[in-house]
Structures are given as C-alpha cells and as structure tokens.
Amino acid sequence: MSHVDEGTLHAYLDGELPSAERTALEAHLADCATCRANLTEERALRERAAALLGSARPAERPAPPLEQLRRESKRSPWHVRRSFAWAASIALALGIGYYLRNPVEEMAPANTPAPEFGLYDRQAAPSGTLPAKAPPGRRPAPPPRPPRPAAAELAQMMEKDSAATRVALRSNEALTHAGPPSAVAAAAARPRVDSPSANLPTVDGVLADRSQPALAQANARGAYNRSARELVDTAWPVINQPAARSILGAEPVGLPGLTTRKIRRSPGSDGTVVVEQALDASTVIQIFQRAASAGSLSDSTSYGFTGGFERARANRLARFVGRLRVEITGPLSADSLNRLLEQVAPLP
C-alpha cells in the first residue's frame, strides 16, 4: 500500500472513514512510520484549525432580556433587528405553531381577511351586517372554514413572505417586482363587496381607491407596495408630532429607536395618523393609528383603515396600544411585522 493521502487521514481523524477502509488504514499505519508521522501532523493541524474556528465563535446566549434590547434598539436600526430575533425566540419557545394551529381565530382576521369578503358575498349575507359596531371583545363569528385550507393558505403566505423579508431587507423596490402574485391576484379576482366598507370607518384617501379598477389591476400585478406607499405619499398631508397628538388624543406611537421619517394625517376626517419609520436605508414601515374610540372597530376585524388591496397582501396587522388602534404595514413578512407591532410604544 502506498502512503495514505491527507484526505483519507482527515476522514479517518473525523471518524468518517468507512469501516473497511479504516481497518486497512490502521493496518497500514502499524507498518508505516511515514504515515504515522503524517497522521500526527494532520491531527495537530486538524486540532489547530478547530481551535481557531472555536476562537471565532459567538457567545452562546439565550434570548436577551427585553430591557437590554430596548436599550440597544435606541442606538441604531441595526440593533432593532435583534429585538426581532428576541421576539422570534420567544415565539418559538412558546410555540410559534399557534400560527398553524389556530389560523382562523388568531391570524385570519388580521392577516387574511380577504376571503371573508368572498364568503360574505357567497353567503349573500346582508351587507349591512358586518359588525361595524361589534362590542369590544366579541368577534364576529368567523365564517366556517375548513381549517386545513386555511392553514395551508397561511403557510403559503408565510412562505412567500419569508422570501419577501429577505428581499425587503435588501431593497424595498425589489419587492414590488418580486411580489408573489398568487394571493394578490386571487384576492383581486374575488368579487368585491362594496357595501360593507361603506359602513366601516375607513381611511378615506386610501379606501376610496379600492374601487378604482386601475389600482386593482396594479394590485393584481403585485405592485402593492408602491401603490400603497405612493398613495399615502401624495394624498396624506405631513404633520408634526404635536399635531398628531392632538388628532389622536394621545402621543403617536412608533417603534422605539427607529428614525421617524414623517408623520402624516389622513386626508379625510377620520382622525387617522400614519407614522413612517425607516427600518434601514431601503425599508420603510408605516404605522397607522387612530383613537380606538373613533373607529368603533371590533378587536378582531381589520376592516377599515385601508382597502382590500392592502389586506390582500396580508401584511397588515392590528392591535391596540393604550387608547390607539394601531396597524402596521411595510415590505416585511407578516411575522416580522407582527413582532414589530408588538413593540410599538408612544414616541418620545
């Protein structure tokens, strides 16, 4: 047997040599001083390489405490991302699977309301019955839907949005081109029910455009972000924080530590304010907010604020923060937006 090559020696040292070869190698080593010396050398090399790599390892740490994250997040948007990480770890620890277990109850109202339009329509429900005045805490009974398709739908959505997150981190613009059209197109293809929205408090400037075919088509092409953003950009007057405070009756909310680019108010009289914040150079999120009393929306419906074209994108999530009802949108996954939404707080 000729001398053993270094690849075989490393495989041997790694315990990855098939047993027949190992036996042969060991027999050879017993007889061959050169290969024994080589083995010693390669072992040292292997250990040194492992030690070097080991010295460049991250500290193994559990999810950092919230307070620390808050402090870090004040420094730069870069650090804010860690708080997503933290949130994700908590979500995983608590069982992020709740998204999948209970999609209709928990996620569908905020994330995938579009099918409900379709259902209301299909069931020929009187359009005025949408619970615009539903008492807080009582959800409108979700239309019976087989859970499996809902879960699949959600999974598909999250899958697409995960990809979208990656894109969004790189470029806001890219998303508008990369936007996966299926959900959007499906929503656009659904019959529209106009009358429910008429009963709902809405952001006039945005919702008004829902019925415009041009926008619907733009939406179907996956141009959600651009159209939504530009719409607000053009139609919503920029205001300052004191003005926002007086509209809302409370301090406007945003993500701590993020730069607030602009605060705008709705062109209508519905008392809606949007805070635009930059996550990084190319990613802007919009935090829509309104005094909860002004909206009389029930907790779980996400009707209002904006039209179906945005919700079709399934990344508009809502919660109450103090006296405000807050929705968030931006070129991030629903998951990320949800985590961001959890962190909104009154602006300093």
Partner 1 sequence: MPEDIAEVYRSTYPALVRFLYRKVWDQGRAEDLAQEAFARALVHRPENTRGWLFVVAANMARDEARRAAREKRHLTLLKSEPDAVHSSPEEEIDAETRTRRVRAALDELTPRDREALLLWDAGMSYDEIAAQTGLARGAIGTTLARARRRLVEAYDTGLEGGQHVARG
Applying CB under 8 A, which of residues 24, 29, 32, 88 lies at the interface with partner 1? 88
- Kindly indicate which of the ranges 54-62, 111-119, 123-131, 135-143 contains the residues binding partner 1, using the contact rule CB under 8 A: 54-62
Please tell me the distance from the alpha carbon of residue 67 to that of residue 73, in angstroms, as a whole number.
10
DSSP string, 189-204: HSPP-HHHHHHS-B-H
**Judged by CB, which is closer to partner 1: 82, or 221?**
82
Give the residue from 226, 194, 217 showing the smallest Cα distance to 127: 194
- For position 26 contacting partner 1 by CB under 8 A, the verdict is no
Q: Counting contacts by CB under 8 A, is residue 275 touching partner 1?
A: no
Q: Does 259 bind partner 1 (CB under 8 A)?
A: no
| Torsion angle in degrees (nearest 10) through CA of 343, 329, 188, 304 | 80
- Give just the sign of the alpha carbon dihedral 145, 146, 151, 156: negative
Q: Which residues contact 61 (CB under 8 A, 6 or more apart)?
A: none
Packing angle of the helix pair 19-31, 6-13 (nearest 10 deg) = 110
Measured at the alpha carbon of residue 147, what is the angle toward residues 146 and 152, in degrees to the nearest 5? 110
- Site size toward partner 1 (CB under 8 A) is 53
Q: Is residue 9 within the footprint of partner 1 (CB under 8 A)?
A: yes
Give the per-residue contact string, 302-341, with partner 1 (x = CB under 8 A; - = no).
Answer: ---------------------------------x------
Instruction: Give the position of tokens 């150079």.
Output: 281
Determine if 106 is a binding residue for partner 1 (CB under 8 A). no
- Which of the ranges 9-17, 221-229, 263-271, 321-329 carries the binding residues for partner 1, by CB under 8 A? 9-17
Residue with tokens 């939404």: 341
Binding site for partner 1 (CB under 8 A): 5-12, 14, 16-17, 42, 45-46, 48-50, 52-53, 55-61, 76, 78-79, 81-82, 84-85, 88-89, 91-92, 95-97, 99-100, 155, 158-159, 162, 165-166, 169-170, 280-281, 335
